Structure 1
Amino acid sequence: MAKSSKLCVIYNMAAKYRAPIFQLMDKEMDIDWHYSNQIGDIKEMDSSLLKKVTKLRRTNIIGSLYWQHGVMSLINQSEYNTFLALGELFSLSTWGLLIKRKLFYKNKKIYLWSHGWYGREGIIKRWMKKIFFGLSNGTFLYGNYARDIAIQQGNNPDKLWVIHNSLDYATHIKLRETLLPSDIYKDYFNNSDPTLVFIGRLTRVKHLDMVIQAVHTLKLKGENYNIVFVGDGEERKNLEKLAVEMNVNVWFYGGCYDDAQTAQLIYDADLCVSPGNVGLTAMHSMVFGTPVLTHSNFANQMPEFEAIQQGITGDFFQEGDIIDLVNSISNWFKNHSNRELVRIECYKEIDSKWTPEYQNKILKHNLKL
């Protein structure tokens, strides 16, 4: 494939889960990458997987505000006419880059890649976002929900493109092709009851105690379910104690770094339940055919909730409402007796628009490189 003009990508860091899309972009476009080192406990991808990487020094200023050194001078370089930057409102260096382009380099283009709008912004933040994203030549957003909010607030719809998100799709598909139903849960729990799964960090913000409480309530009503938590975290001990108190079947599988094992655990489960925000868990679950139940307050969700087609690839319950969660779990199993049909619908959703290939297509079409 013939390559056109060079693209300068500016990011906060290269998270490991972004490796597949970054590598695909690097393969099909002529890119110079500029980003900082690992932030917090987010795993970083191997920079040697990309052809040309420049590491930027990052300075935290106050609160969430930060500056990436060297960003402002990139606009001066003649080899760069097109930029793609992470659209973080708190990146003062990105603000500087956008303003400098607007004043002195109007022939160059800067595009942003961002969560964008959540729907819970106050007046000041809405005003700031309208200015920030308005300074760019266009913004790639993770979801239609954010795009709709942006349009409602007066932002130009012709400069907003939905790119969704992705994980290591190629690896997941290879694993998926090898999967067959197993007796892993039947053997562990010594029953054939439906199994609810959660995969991810066991943290307070995920409200996983609600899953245990809901299953306890369902048990009192004569409906029995197993729970599997794949992951570890600071809430594990509290959850273990609660599971004993509630007398429900919970398997604390722990952290799992074997993709084949994780794939089998998800595949054999019947429903992924994420009472807090769902994020990448939705994609990880659906790519192996397991539907997702999470809360319906989209202003407090991550963009991946859009992979859930209500009643088809999952469902929603009222945020924080344990009774509604109980009813939603019960109703899902009453109305979805055909597990294989649900599995196929989950596959279709992820395969259609939650892949690196889909993201790369949207990027190339709108960047016009």
Structure 2
Amino acid sequence: MAKISILYHHFPHYRAPVMRALAVSKKHQYEFYGCIDDYEGIRAFKGDDFVTINPISFNFDNKGKMDISGYEKAISNDYDAIIIIGNINMKGTWKAQKEASINGLKTLYWAHGWLKKENFIKAKIRNYYFNRADKILTYGFRAKDIAKSTGFNPSKIQVIWNSLDFTKQTEYFERYKDIERSDLRNNIGMPNNKIMLLTISRVTDICHYEWLIDAVAYLESSKNLDCEIWMIGEGPALNGLIELAKVKNVKLNCQGALYDEELIAQHLMSADMVVSPGKLGLTGMHALAYGTPVVTHGNFDLQMPEVEAVIEGQSGVFFKYGDPTDLANKISEFLPKISSYNSIRDICRNSLIGRFTPEDQARLIDEAIDEVLNESS
């Protein structure tokens, strides 16, 4: 059994399930290194009875760039391989990869990798950075396709997707799936006589929720559809959106930040759709796990890799970036799809199973380690 270190700047709380899945791997022994401090409002996973986090330092250099230090043990020859957070702008990752390689470790980067096509110079630098490692673990196939188009060897890339706590989400889904939607809505005070469009994220300008407000205003005035937005989350853009909704005469119900997963489950399962206008990351996976379809934009250069969880026309739909009218039209066109309540739920959840679960991620990471160590699967 090979011994593998995983080096991150900090492990976000949502990484805990895949870390636990790796911790019980029957193929390899994984140990984890990361800062245990929260970062930019994202709670760090500090470890538990199953996973120990060996602390390192995560800080900023004199130019304001993120950096890591104090990871010497992670790159030592006590390990056979190391998985490093693949952030090209974090100079410590360059150093860690180089020193780990010198110490005889196989090296892998865990990264978004390639989000969009870049100019020649940027593409060359990015490819040089990732070529230093033996394997790149990416969140989706689009990164692999873009890399291939720049001349990067696609065989060095293993797609491992992303995941949340699908086991816990499935537990809550099973608990509430046989309850009538009207009863679910009554339990949380959500109206039964409206199309409920839910958002769940930190509320920032990059979310472009103003497009959703404009879209709802159009749906009500031009298509005579009675809609309401339920917004879960807080953030600097919230007050401006409240004022805009008043001006547009759009019903915006702000729920504040929710951290109780069971309550979140009830909200997501009560909504008709989850709308994420500006970009779709973990929000999409969260919604789909509870059987709720997703609406987001189709400009994939401005998207997050998790958008690949959405199967257009089945588990969600894409609108034209920056076009609230098209957003409104896509919502109204998709409404008949959700009339079959149980069917749409199955479609949404099945778009995750086999790819976007902690067990799938752990299996794919094990396979990548097998490959770089030339071990049989």
User: Is TM more than 0.5 here?
Assistant: yes
Match of 2:12 in 1: 15
Matched with 1:169 is 166
Find the aligned partners of 1:189 and 1:35 in 2 and give their Cα distance: 41
Picking from 97, 116, 120, the partner of 1:119 is 116
Q: By how many angstroms is 1:354 displaced?
A: 0.7
Q: Against the structure 1 CA distance between its residues 186 and 18, is the aligned structure 2 distance closer, same or farther, given a 3 Å change threshold?
A: same
SS of the residue corresponding to residue 175 of structure 2 reads coil
Opposite residue 349 of structure 1, the aligned amino acid is: S
Unaligned runs of 5+ in 1: none
Residue 234 and residue 167 in structure 1: after superposition, are their counterparts in 2 closer, same or farther (change >3 A)?
Answer: same
How far is the alpha carbon of 1:200 from its aligned partner? 1.2
1:33 deviates by 1.7
Work out the number of aligned pairs and report it: 363
CA distance in 1, matches of 2:85, 2:143: 16
Secondary structure of the equivalent of 1:6? strand
Counterpart amino acid of residue 31 in structure 2: D
More off after superposition, 113-122 vs 307-316:
113-122
1:280-318: CA deviation from partner (whole Å, max 9, x where unpaired): 000010100100010111111111100111100001011
1:90 aligns with 2:92: no
Structure 2 Cα separation of the partners of residues 327 and 84 of structure 1 = 44
Q: 1:259 aligns with which of 261, 284, 298?
A: 261
Q: CA deviation at 1:63?
A: 4.4
Partner of 1:146: 143
Does 188-197 or 339-348 show the bigger shift?
Answer: 188-197
* CA-CA distance at 1:238 after TM superposition: 1.7
Residue matched to 2:216: 215
2:327 to 325, 341, 347: 325
> 1:168-188 CA deviation, whole Å, 9 max, x = no partner?
111111100011234354794
Q: Give me the whole-angstrom Cα distance separating, in 2, the residues matched to 1:112 and 1:324.
A: 38
Q: Which residue, out of 344, 347, 362, partners 1:345?
A: 347
**Equivalent residues of 1:164, 1:304 under 8 A apart:** yes
How big is the shift at 1:211? 1.1
**C-alpha separation in 2, matches of 1:279 and 1:49:** 29
Deviations 1:56-111 (A, max 9, x none): 12342254634322346754x33212111111101212212333455x45x53001
Whether the 8 Å CA contact 2:84–2:97 is kept in 1: the answer is no
Deviation at 1:266, TM superposition (A): 0.5
Q: Indicate if the aligned counterparts of 1:206 and 1:276 stay in contact, CA closer than 8 A.
A: yes
Quick one: which amino acid aligns to residue 204 of structure 1?
D
Q: Distance in 2 between matches of 1:66 and 1:335?
A: 44
1:194 aligned onto 2:191:
no
Match of 2:57 in 1: 57
The code of the aligned residue for 1:123 comes to F
Q: Which amino acid aligns with 1:165?
A: N
Select which of 283, 289, 292 maps to 2:291: 289
Identify if the C-alpha distance between structure 1 residues 287 and 116 changes in structure 2 by more than 3 Å, giving closer, same or farther: same
Q: Which amino acid aligns with 1:155?
A: F
Paired residue for 1:233?
A: 235
Of 109, 113, 124, 2:106 maps to: 109
Task: Give the drift of 1:191.
Answer: 4.9
Q: CA offsets per residue over residues 145-164 of structure 1, 9 Å max, x none?
A: 11110111111111111111
Change (3 A) 1:90 1:257: same
* 1:6 to partner: Cα distance: 0.9
Residues 166 and 189 of structure 1, relative CA distance in 2, 3 Å threshold: closer
Q: Secondary structure at the match of 1:178?
A: helix
| 1:55 Cα deviation after fit | 1.1
Secondary structure, aligned partner of 2:353: helix
TM-score (norm 2): 0.90
The residue aligned with 1:70 is: 70
Aligned partners of 1:190 and 1:312: how far apart in 2?
Answer: 25
Deviations 1:192-244 (A, max 9, x none): 22211111112111011111111111111212212111122222222222222
Aligned counterparts of 2:363 and 2:5: Cα–Cα separation in 1 = 18
Q: 1:132 is aligned with what amino acid?
A: Y
Unaligned 5+ segments in structure 2 are none
Instruction: State how far apart, in whole Å, the 2-side matches of 1:367 and 1:72 are.
Output: 21
Q: State the shift of 1:36 in Å.
A: 2.1
